[in-house]
Amino acid sequence: MVFVSSIFAFFTCINMAAYSVSKRGLEAFADCLRVEMASFGVKVSVVQPGNFGRSTSILKEKSTAAVWEKLGAERRALFSRRYVDLANRYYAASCRAGSKDGAVVVDAMLHAVTAARPRYRYLLASAADTFFFTLLQFLPTALTDAVMTCSSMYATRAATLYAAQAAQ
C-alpha cells in the first residue's frame, strides 16, 4: 500500500490547517496499517512530496480580485482586501517556487509498489528542506512555532487581517 502525504504533515503553515491535519491523519493511519498488516506480508509506505505544484496543474494562480469576488459578505467583513492580497501573493509565490519535475514522485511511488523492501517513508524535498524537516521534529514546540513565524506572511498578518473592522 502506498499513501501520498506531504511535507505539510511535518509542520504548521499559515492558512494550511485543514490540509496539514489531513496529512498528519493520513500518516497516522498509514503507520497503524503498516504495523497491523505486517503479519500478512503487506507493506505500507508513505510518499511525502515537497512543493511539486509546477509539475502538475493542481495549483492555479488567481488574481486577488477573483478571490475577493468569490468571498461572501460575511468573509469580506472578516478579512480585509489587503489581507486577501497578501495571502494571494504568498500563495502565488509558493506556486511559482515548486519543482517542475514530478518524475521523482512517480519514481518513489513505483519503488514503494515494486521493491521487495520499500522504505517506510519517501521524503521528497530539496536537501535543505530535508535537513530542516528532519531537524524540526526534534525541536521544542516553542522553537518551531518561532521559526514558522519568521515568514513575511506572519509579520504582516495581524495588521492586515482585521484592518477592515478596525477602520469601521
H or E, element range at 80: none
Phi, psi of 80 (to 5 degrees): -75, 160
Question: Dihedral sign, CA of 23, 28, 29, 33?
Answer: positive
> Does 19 qualify as catalytic in the annotation?
yes
Residue 136, Cβ density class (10 Å: 0-12 exposed, 13-18 middle, ≥19 buried): middle
Q: Which residues form the catalytic set?
A: 19
